[in-house]
Amino acid sequence: MITLDNLVASHGRRPAVHHVTGRFAPGSLTAIMGPNGAGKTTLLRTIAGLHPAEEGRVQVAGRIALLPQGATMDRTFPIACRDVVLQGLWSKLGAFRGAGRAELAQADQALGAVGLRDFAARPVGSLSAGQFQRLLFARLLLQDAPVILLDEPFNAVDGKTAADLLAMLHRWHGEGRTIIAVLHDLDLVRREFPETLLLARDPIAWGPTAIALSAENRLRARMMAEHWDAEAERCAAA
Ligand SMILES: Nc1ncnc2c1ncn2[C@@H]1O[C@H](COP(=O)(O)OP(=O)(O)OP(=O)(O)O)[C@@H](O)[C@H]1O
């Protein structure tokens, strides 16, 4: 379970997430939706412990795996695909233990599972955006975490790749893992995600997707976005 209690997160003195309270139930499958700049990535990173909570609290039961926004990752570093996947075993191997035969086999199996069997030795910089997204999913497979956070996981991928990755996500959900994904595709979310948190820095709605993404709530989110003060230094209620 993940509990947010009056959570506020900022960048410098600029507020990004305002007073969010609620819970992601164990085994739930939730989309986070909202306009650009709504604080979705900031919220995900705060849940993952990569960004500090300025106020309030995040409580997480269980290990977290995060799929970051692909576009934000440096792919010029000369590292082979298999080594990127092996990063998924970081919590098990630590900094000083190299991967043994079993771990290498695990990495190759994960590459095969995402359709990148022949890519093990390829430098990561040579992958297309969609192939790179598949690679990040292979790393998630090795992380084997009960809580999985995904930031725009289907960005820059074709229909077939999106369908394959979505199937993987549903398999994880079927295994009882808690899944939270930041998404922009309204139809996809309505079709595939039972729960939604609609965020516009403030929480607009959080619950069953059909209700959370009602026309009225979406309009409220858009209106909030239109009235954000880019120079505001603190949220009004703080
Ligand atoms: N590193 C940073 N430094 C300063 N401000 C930041 C930083 N990252 C995000 N912000 C600001 O925080 C606010 C929320 O950003 P965030 O990336 O969380 O939004 P988002 O909902 O994920 O947006 P998008 O849909 O465009 O990806 C934005 O106004 C953004 O400009």
Calpha distance 56→8 (Å, rounded): 6
**Tokens standing for 64?**
């977290």
Domain end, chosen from 111, 127, 145, is at 145
Are 142 and 172 spatial neighbours (Cβ–Cβ below 8 Å)?
no
- Between the CA of 9 and the centroid of ligand 1 the distance, in Å, is 11
Domain finish residue from 94, 111, 145? 145
Total of domains in the chain:
2
User: Ligand 1: residues within 6 Å at CB?
Assistant: 11, 14, 16, 34, 36-42
Which of 145, 164, 186 corresponds to the end of one domain?
145
Q: What is the pLDDT of residues 17-55, one digit of tens each?
A: 999 999 999 999 999 999 999 999 999 999 999 999 999
Mean pLDDT computed over 68-96: 79
Q: How far does the centroid of ligand 1 lie from the alpha carbon of residue 41, in Å?
A: 7
* Closest protein CA for atom 4 of ligand 1: 11
State mean pLDDT over 196-204.
96
pLDDT, mean of residues 65-76:
79
In whole angstroms, what is the distance from residue 139 CA to residue 34 CA? 27
How far away, in angstroms, is 5 Cα from ligand 1 center? 21
Same domain, 22 and 3: yes
Range of the domain at 119: 71-145
CA of 38 to the centre of ligand 1 (A): 7
Do both 100 and 129 map to the same domain?
Answer: yes
pLDDT above 80 for 234: no
Q: Is the pLDDT at 119 greater than 90, yes or no?
A: yes
Phi first, then psi: what are they for 66, rounded to 5°?
-120, 130
Query: pLDDT category, 155, cuts 50, 70, 90?
Result: confident
CA distance 20 to 56: 9
From the alpha carbon of 39, which atom of ligand 1 is closest?
18
User: In the predicted model, is pLDDT for residue 233 greater than 80?
Assistant: no
Q: What is the reported pLDDT for 238? A: 45
| Cβ neighbours of 217 (radius 10 Å) | 17
Answer yes or no: do 45 and 158 share one domain: yes
HSE, CB side, 13 Å, CA atoms: give it for residue 122.
Answer: 16
Q: What percent of the chain has pLDDT over 90?
A: 74
Token pair of 13 as six digits = 């003195």
Q: Decide if the complex's ipTM is over 0.90.
A: yes
- CATH number of the domain enclosing 216: 3.40.50.300
- Does the residue 159 lie in any domain? yes
Domain assignment present for 238: no
Buried/exposed code over 36-67 (b: 16+ C-beta within 10 A; e: otherwise): eebbbbbbbbbbbeebebbbbebebeeebbbb
Higher pLDDT, 95 or 211: 211
pLDDT, residue 212, reads 98
Same domain, 219 and 102: no
